[in-house]
Amino acid sequence: MDLDFILSHMPEEIRRQTTHRTYMNGETIVRKGEDAKHVYLITRGSTRVSNEFASGQRYTFAALGEADIIGDLDVLAGKSVYAATNEADSTCEVIAMRAETFIQWMHLDNEFAVAVARMLAAKMYPTSNEAGRIKFLPSLERLHSYLLKRLGDIETDLFILHTSRQQIADDIGTSVKTVNRGVLKLKEAGLITLLHGKITMNKEQQQALKDSFVDE
């Protein structure tokens, strides 16, 4: 649903129970395991959604943006704690409300309730469709698939990936050490080049990377 529509149709009694908050890049909005007492509607910026495990590894599996809601799944599932961590990926502005206020809003506005259901389905579908598969791919294939997704349809003579090795590890659910091993293997295979530690690919390497990946 369009953000302007959501805000213009917000019941006044709900609006009175909300507050506006701003989070800077890297600042945590909700953390996995914390009490799920609030819901946040993003009005500007974006966030990255990740899961942290006892091993210390972190897996970034989604991104949220304008008009997306943080904490909706946790609250509607009746869970007492957040299932994942949400961090601002840029300067991020949100409308914050108590969990009870969010539920009240859904009861008052059927159109909003349907929109929330659709947003939840949109968030969960790619996770169901892909996350389970990627979890069981060997780490080198995960890195290979990740680089292809980052490359996308970009057409450039020299592609430079500015993402840190830690962030790559978070994104594919593995360790920095494993990412480094994979990077060296891809370099030895001639599929990538390292420039001041950053992964780069010329046009030939970009095509070779695409040709060498088999998606089952």
Which CATH number applies to 3-128?
2.60.120.10
| Residue 149 CB coordination number (10 Å) | 9
Q: What angle do CA 24, 25, 26 make, to 5 degrees?
A: 110
Who wins on pLDDT, 212 or 187? 187
| Residue 169 CB coordination number (10 Å) | 24
With a cut of 90, say whether residue 128 has pLDDT above it: no
Topology annotation, domain 139-212: Arc Repressor Mutant, subunit A (1.10.10)
Q: Determine the average pLDDT of the residues in 156-171.
A: 88
Residue range(s) occupied by CATH 1.10.10.10 in the chain: 139-212
With a cut of 80, say whether residue 65 has pLDDT above it: yes
With a cut of 90, say whether residue 142 has pLDDT above it: no
> Dihedrals φ, ψ of 195, to 5°?
-125, 105
With a cut of 60, say whether residue 133 has pLDDT above it: no
Q: What's the full length of the chain, in residues?
A: 216
Mean pLDDT of the chain: 87
Give the pLDDT confidence of 20-40 residue by residue, as tens digits: 999 999 999 999 999 999 999
Give the pLDDT confidence of 79-120 residue by residue, as tens digits: 999 999 999 999 999 999 999 999 999 999 999 999 999 888
Residue 119 pLDDT: 87
Order of strands across the sheet with 69-70? Answer: 19-23, 92-98, 38-44, 69-70
Q: Give the C-alpha distances (Å, rounded to integers) separating 157 from 28, 108, 211.
A: 37, 54, 17
Instruction: Give the SS3 label for residue 77.
Output: coil
With a cut of 50, say whether residue 216 has pLDDT above it: no
With a cut of 90, say whether residue 154 has pLDDT above it: no
Please state which of the ranges 47-56, 71-80, 183-192 shows the lowest mean pLDDT: 47-56
Q: Is the separation of the CB atoms in 40 and 71 below 8 Å?
A: yes
Chain-centre distance for alpha carbon 136? 19
Residue 64 pLDDT: 92
Who wins on pLDDT, 37 or 127? 37
With a cut of 70, say whether residue 132 has pLDDT above it: no
Where do we find the tokens 């050490």?
177
With a cut of 80, say whether residue 7 has pLDDT above it: yes
State the pTM of this model: 0.64
Q: Determine the average pLDDT of the residues in 28-54.
A: 91
Rg (CA), the chain: 20
Residue range(s) occupied by CATH 2.60.120.10 in the chain: 3-128
User: Beta strand 85-88 with 92-98: parallel, antiparallel or unpaired?
Assistant: unpaired
Give the pLDDT confidence of 177-208 residue by residue, as tens digits: 999 999 999 999 899 999 999 999 999 999 89
Q: Determine the average pLDDT of the residues in 157-177.
A: 87
Residue 158 pLDDT: 92
With a cut of 90, say whether residue 151 has pLDDT above it: no
